[in-house]
Chains A and B, each alone.
Chain A
Amino acid sequence: MTIIKHELRQNRTAFAVWTASIAFLLIVCVFLFPDVKGEMDSVGNLFASMGSFTAAFGMDRLNIGTLIGYYSIECGNILGLGGALFASLLGISALAKEEKDRTAEFLLTHPVSRKRVITEKLAAVLLQITVMNLLILILSLLSVALIGEDIPSRELLLIHGAYFLLQLELACICFGISAFLRRGGAGIGMGLAAAAYFLNLVANISESARFLHWLTPFAYCEGADIITGGKLDGSRIAVGMTLAIIGIITAFRHYIRKDIR
């Protein structure tokens, strides 16, 4: 528990800033909905007729004039990108930062096994992601209630759940990469998150690139699919969680034997 506590304390500022930023943008977005709704007649048609841009964000299948359609596109993008970046950064720095900041020599010359270090660091990452998502979900539900809209709880929970799984997947993959790094990997983490995001956009636009959906966790967060289907895509999630588990196993296998320089 010592290492978990220490990790949380070390990360508390970053955690607070990311959580507050994502929550703030999300709330602002929700508060804009009443205005958007009023102008929907003109705007909705415009958004629905921008060709591949429309398809990229799933606006061909969603009505941006309804709260859930609007929420899944606008808020989904904020939560998706923000959450993905935060989760990737958490994962990629978890193990690598010890060598980058030369604190590995301090930590690993105490009587703690490498296995314990990895376990507690992973737990700290997952805990932060979980708490952040819970906080954001609560604030989001509150803000929807505040603008006087009915809360489409099932769809909303499914969307938030999907993004939570996306963050877990990216964090675990980055955690696995982190075990190999000796310097900070912020660039790798952010690059991975951004690549996953844009892969999904590309896959949405072109029929021939559709297979890319299997490579990016954003595919199972697609609001249009979730809302029209009323459920999450189990097989895509299974692929994603398999990648996450591979990331975790890789981290253990490599870091336990790693030479710390």
Chain B
Amino acid sequence: MNEKAIQTRNLTKYYGKTRGIDQIDLTVPWGDFFGFIGPNGAGKSTTIRTLLGLIRPTGGEAKIFGLDIINDRERILSRVGYLPSETSFYPGMRVRDVLKLSAELRGRSFRRGRQQQPRSSHDVTAPPPYRNDRRETLHPHEHDCAEAAHILCERLQLDPARKVDELSLGNKKKVSIVCALQHDPDLLILDEPTSGLDPLMQREFFEILRERSANGATIFLSSHILSEIQHNCAHAAMIRDGRIIASGSVEDLSRTGARRVNIRGQMDYGALSGVKNLHVSPDGADFLYSGDMQVLLAVMANGTIQDVSITEPDLEEVFLHYYDGRPE
């Protein structure tokens, strides 16, 4: 397939005069595990909500599976699983009812699970029966979501008989996860998926995502947590103030060993190479350092240092540092 899973060109959304996103260019190839990073309010959710047709772009265009996000919205959504950052369900429903409603809104049935005996623990850990080739047409046995939902609920330790109103934040998140995954979508769009999940569940969740990825699904993961992106994604783009400021392979990104150095005292900054973002104040300095550590230590030894901290730079700095000087 030559079209991309997601492709946007100059995608722009203004709410009146308020900027939502500004000329976003994104390309996510088929089968990619793609990270979308940015601080809160940068425009991650606006981008996603535009892609899903919840809001209309004020400029530019976007295609998913080569289909137009406005004109082919339903065709796109039938192959997408979306996990919203905040989850709300209809009051008074049980988890099972929500999953059934979600399946039926997709034109799928939700029956098989009901008659099934509880599965053995061996079966429970087995991955759902994925299809290997990504097609729009389904085999009859793939039409029903109950089986897949049942397995997902077991893996995420979610009781389908519970009322959604009584669930904790994390358990509500799990309901959303099952809704997003039970129909075996070709593209998963995940907006801050791990908020509210405990570490064990986060691990299980990413395990499921890796299985889906291995089976050919494309995954678009929006997050402000760098490690999530670093550990799982092949490619990533960073958004800030509504604009993409960097994009590329996460592997390259992880290789930059830049450190943020904070110094109280005096030393000869001119003797260092690989210094960026240098801020000197009367009693010290801080800067991003990507040069030789031995050189830094030697220069510090020759200076008068009262205190020093060398830390991992925050995610934004990594991107700014790594892509500094490159065309965006």
Q: B216 at interface (Cβ–Cβ under 8 A)?
A: no
Q: Closest CB-CB distance, A255 to chain B, in whole Å?
A: 12
Q: B84 at interface (Cβ–Cβ under 8 A)?
A: yes
Contact of B55 among A6, A101, A260 (CB under 8 A): A260
A101 lies within 8 A of B88 (CB): yes
Q: Closest CB-CB distance, A95 to chain B, in whole Å?
A: 14
Q: Which residues of A contact B80 (CB under 8 A)?
A: 109
Residue ID in chain B nearest A7 by CB atoms: B90
Q: Which residues of A contact B104 (CB under 8 A)?
A: 2
Q: Once bound together, how far apart are the Cα atoms of A3 and B101, in whole Å?
A: 9
> Known contacts being A2-B101, A257-B56, is A110 close to B88, with CB within 8 Å?
no
> Known contacts being A259-B54, A259-B56, A260-B54, is A110 close to B90, with CB within 8 Å?
no
A111 lies within 8 A of B89 (CB): no
Contacting residues of chain B (32-68) with chain A, CB-CB under 8 angstroms: 49, 52-56
> Known contacts being A101-B91, A103-B88, A105-B88, is A111 close to B75, with CB within 8 Å?
yes
**Chain A facing B: main interface SS:** loop
Contact of A111 among B49, B55, B77, B90 (CB under 8 A): B77
Q: B102 at interface (Cβ–Cβ under 8 A)?
A: yes
> Known contacts being A103-B89, A103-B90, is A111 close to B105, with CB within 8 Å?
yes
B55 lies within 8 A of A259 (CB): yes
A108 lies within 8 A of B54 (CB): yes
A109 lies within 8 A of B54 (CB): yes
B101 lies within 8 A of A6 (CB): yes
Q: Once bound together, how far apart are the Cα atoms of A260 and B90, in whole Å?
A: 17
Contacting residues of chain A (61-114) with chain B, CB-CB under 8 angstroms: 101-113
Q: How many pairs of residues, A versus B, come closer than 8 Å at their CB atoms?
A: 65
Q: Closest CB-CB distance, A183 to chain B, in whole Å?
A: 14
Residue ID in chain B nearest A261 by CB atoms: B55
Q: Once bound together, how far apart are the Cα atoms of A192 and B223, in whole Å?
A: 45
Q: Closest CB-CB distance, B267 to chain A, in whole Å?
A: 51
Q: Once bound together, how far apart are the Cα atoms of A259 and B49, in whole Å?
A: 9
Q: B73 at interface (Cβ–Cβ under 8 A)?
A: yes
Q: Which residues of B contact A111 (CB under 8 A)?
A: 73-78, 105-107
Quick one: which of A101, A102, A259 has the most chain B CB within 10 A?
A259
A interface residues, tally (CB under 8 Å): 21
Residue ID in chain B nearest A1 by CB atoms: B104
Q: Which residues of B contact A101 (CB under 8 A)?
A: 88, 90-91
A109 lies within 8 A of B82 (CB): yes
Residue ID in chain A nearest B75 by CB atoms: A111
Q: Once bound together, how far apart are the Cα atoms of A101 and B55, in whole Å?
A: 18
Q: B207 at interface (Cβ–Cβ under 8 A)?
A: no
Contact of A10 among B15, B90, B102 (CB under 8 A): B90
B interface residues, tally (CB under 8 Å): 30
Contact with B along A45-56 (1 / 0, CB 8 A): 000000000000
Q: Closest CB-CB distance, A179 to chain B, in whole Å?
A: 15
Q: Which residues of A contact B92 (CB under 8 A)?
A: 10
Q: Which residues of B contact A112 (CB under 8 A)?
A: 74, 105
Q: Which residues of A contact B86 (CB under 8 A)?
A: 102
Q: Closest CB-CB distance, B229 to chain A, in whole Å?
A: 23
Q: Once bound together, how far apart are the Cα atoms of A111 and B55, in whole Å?
A: 15
A110 lies within 8 A of B89 (CB): no
Q: Closest CB-CB distance, A244 to chain B, in whole Å?
A: 27
Q: Closest CB-CB distance, B174 to chain A, in whole Å?
A: 15
A110 lies within 8 A of B91 (CB): no
Contacting residues of chain B (80-139) with chain A, CB-CB under 8 angstroms: 80, 82, 84, 86-92, 101-102, 104-107
Q: Closest CB-CB distance, B24 to chain A, in whole Å?
A: 17
Q: Which residues of B contact A261 (CB under 8 A)?
A: 55
Residue ID in chain A nearest B101 by CB atoms: A6
Q: Which residues of A contact B77 (CB under 8 A)?
A: 109-111
Q: Which residues of B contact A102 (CB under 8 A)?
A: 86, 88
Q: Which residues of A contact B106 (CB under 8 A)?
A: 110-111
Contacting residues of chain A (1-58) with chain B, CB-CB under 8 angstroms: 2-3, 6, 10
Q: Closest CB-CB distance, B9 to chain A, in whole Å?
A: 21
Q: Which residues of B contact A109 (CB under 8 A)?
A: 52, 54, 77, 80, 82, 84
Q: Once bound together, how far apart are the Cα atoms of A111 and B105, in whole Å?
A: 7
> Known contacts being A2-B101, A111-B74, is A106 close to B89, with CB within 8 Å?
yes
Residue ID in chain B nearest A10 by CB atoms: B90
Residue ID in chain A nearest B76 by CB atoms: A111
Q: Which residues of A contact B74 (CB under 8 A)?
A: 111-113
B55 lies within 8 A of A110 (CB): no
> Known contacts being A2-B105, A110-B105, A111-B106, is A105 close to B54, with CB within 8 Å?
yes
Q: Closest CB-CB distance, B239 to chain A, in whole Å?
A: 19
> Known contacts being A103-B89, A105-B88, is A110 close to B73, with CB within 8 Å?
no
Q: Closest CB-CB distance, B164 to chain A, in whole Å?
A: 11
Residue ID in chain B nearest A100 by CB atoms: B88
Residue ID in chain B nearest A109 by CB atoms: B82
A2-B105, A109-B82 given; name 15 further pairs at CB < 8 Å: A6-B90, A6-B101, A103-B89, A103-B90, A104-B54, A105-B88, A106-B88, A108-B53, A109-B52, A110-B77, A110-B105, A111-B105, A111-B106, A113-B74, A260-B49
Give 5 nearest A-B pairs by CB, closest first. A102-B88, A111-B78, A110-B105, A111-B77, A259-B55
Q: List 5 A-B contacts (CB under 8 A).
A: A6-B90, A101-B88, A111-B78, A111-B106, A112-B74
Residues of A within 8 A of B (CB): 2-3, 6, 10, 101-113, 257, 259-261
